[in-house]
């Protein structure tokens, strides 16, 4: 790479959801739009995140176009003293792009490096005097900003909408017989969600299969989760909630041939395929519907316009500790954390707030959110209605398509970054 034509793009981000739904499409747009103009080096620096799983570095390195990655463990030394763990060098020209975390971080880092600072924001914007430009999800954020700084704002839309560009053919490695309907199961990636979500969704799948034997179930496995760990949550010896839900456990079966998929198998012979390729947009786009927990996965499914039933089981209120900010800190305290978690979750659930991202965006329950001590039979009954009466399912798909907006936010961000870089160099 020629030093005179070289540019550093430093992306600050923090969690697994941001990596898959924001960083990936933006990097792809940068490489596509800038390749003929500049030689770019993309560096991803992770900041601490309460939802981190420990494999974010691995996920970031797997994103095509990312050249360097630093873990969250080394973040604060870099923030305070400007030194990376591997002593990275920096080109004279560069730009800092914020895609998740605390908006104060890019201000400090950008000023130290002498790079323009661009922040992508969904809900709020800060540090207006110090930030060079904001790319925002909707125009409301511009109107909320001080009048003197509104010229720094560009509305680009929702980056997650770009994930709708998925394959419309069966993905490589997945072969379905004619007439087979595919149902996706997304139980989460963290212990709190997996402990309840895995046995619940397996029990639901067992009941659906009894009514619709031509149904195939598939679990897109989070890249931060290994198959053996996932299987333990389906094992009644390791997860007591399995017995609470009727004892429908499952064991892991690894393939004997290279073109076969691993799967979880119940004693009744139900097989739930395990899809380990990431991201899983191609296989999700083939799903008739999905059973999912709350989280970034609801945003991805919404962007793909896949009808979903959102599950928030509360068999163990003290197990749900994945809240942000002070509630999350209290819920994760040693000894007293479980008690705090029960109180916090009880208060949150009483408010009857919306949890799924498409519902939050629409400010109403577009896709059903089932909260409480969920009965597999009741959830299966709702899923059967959707499967037997596709008009309901198609109506939800159409609504999701309207909510998600038009793709193209990543390309707009890439254009803004190039403009800011050109302005900074006079």
Rounded CA separation 411/179 (Å): 38
Q: In the prediction, which pLDDT does 396 show?
A: 94
**Buried b / exposed e along 45-58 (16+ C-beta atoms within 10 A):** bbbebbbbbeebbe
Average model confidence (pLDDT) for the chain? 85
Q: How far apart are the first and last CA of the chain?
A: 22
pLDDT at 277 over 60: yes
Phi, psi of 90 (to 5 degrees): -130, 140
pLDDT at 324 over 50: no
What percentage of the chain reaches a pLDDT higher than 90? 54
In this prediction the pTM is 0.71
For the segment 134-160, the average pLDDT, to the nearest whole number, is: 92
Q: In the prediction, which pLDDT does 163 show?
A: 62
Residue from 51, 119, 109 nearest 77 by CA:
109
Which residue in this structure is represented by tokens 């991201």?
279
For the segment 112-137, the average pLDDT, to the nearest whole number, is: 94
* Under 8 Å between Cβ of 119 and 145: no
Residue from 301, 280, 273 nearest 289 by CA:
301
Rounded CA separation 382/380 (Å): 5
Q: In the prediction, which pLDDT does 6 show?
A: 87
Rounded CA separation 136/141 (Å): 7
Q: What is the pLDDT of residues 354-379, one digit of tens each?
A: 888 889 888 899 999 998 888 999 99
DSSP 32-66: HHHTTT-EEEEEEEE---TT--S-HHHHHHTSTT-
pLDDT at 37 over 70: no
pLDDT at 55 over 70: yes
Mapped onto helix, strand or coil, the DSSP state of residue 118 is strand
Phi, psi of 118 (to 5 degrees): -125, 130
Structural domains in the chain, CATH included, are: 3-165+407-424 (3.40.50.2000), 181-404 (3.40.50.2000)
């Amino acid at each position: 790479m020629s030093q005179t034509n070289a540019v550093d793009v430093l992306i600050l981000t923090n969690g697994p959801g941001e990596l898959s739904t924001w960083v990936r499409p933006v990097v792809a747009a940068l490489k596509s739009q800038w390749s003929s103009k500049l030689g770019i080096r993309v560096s991803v620096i992770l900041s601490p995140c309460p939802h981190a799983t420990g494999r974010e570095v691995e996920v970031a390195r797997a994103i095509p176009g990312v050249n360097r990655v630093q873990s969250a463990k080394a973040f604060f030394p870099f923030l305070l003293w400007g030194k990376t763990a591997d002593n990275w060098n920096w080109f004279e020209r560069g730009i800092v792009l914020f895609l998740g975390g605390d908006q104060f971080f890019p201000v400090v880092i950008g000023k130290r490096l002498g790079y323009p600072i661009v922040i992508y924001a969904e809900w709020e914007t800060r540090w207006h005097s110090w930030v060079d430009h904001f790319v925002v999800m909707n125009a409301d954020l511009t109107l909320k900003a001080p009048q003197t700084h509104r010229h720094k704002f560009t509305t680009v839309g929702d980056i997650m909408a770009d994930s709708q560009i998925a394959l419309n053919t069966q993905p490589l490695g997945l072969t379905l017989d004619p007439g087979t309907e595919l149902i996706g199961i997304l139980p989460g990636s963290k212990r709190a969600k997996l402990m309840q979500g895995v046995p619940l969704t397996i029990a639901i799948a067992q009941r659906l299969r009894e009514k619709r034997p031509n149904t195939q179930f598939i679990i897109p496995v989070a890249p931060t989760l290994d198959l053996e760990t996932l299987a333990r949550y389906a094992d009644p010896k390791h997860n007591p909630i399995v017995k609470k839900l009727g004892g429908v456990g499952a064991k892991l079966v690894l393939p004997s041939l290279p073109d076969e998929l691993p799967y979880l198998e119940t004693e009744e012979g139900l097989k739930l395929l395990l899809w380990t390729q990431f991201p899983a947009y191609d296989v999700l786009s083939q799903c008739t519907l999905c059973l999912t927990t709350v989280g970034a996965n609801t945003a991805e499914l919404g962007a793909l316009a896949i009808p979903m039933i959102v599950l928030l089981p509360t068999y163990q209120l003290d197990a749900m500790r994945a809240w942000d900010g002070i509630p999350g800190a209290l819920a994760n305290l040693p000894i007293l954390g479980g008690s705090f978690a029960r109180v916090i979750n009880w208060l949150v659930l009483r408010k009857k707030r919306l949890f799924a991202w498409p519902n939050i965006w629409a400010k109403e329950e577009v896709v059903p959110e089932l909260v409480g001590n969920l009965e597999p039979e009741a959830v299966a009954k709702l899923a059967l209605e959707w499967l037997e009466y596709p008009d309901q399912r198609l109506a939800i798909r159409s609504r999701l398509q309207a909510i998600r907006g038009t793709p193209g936010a990543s390309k707009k961000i890439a254009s803004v970054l190039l403009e800011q870089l050109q302005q900074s160099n006079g």
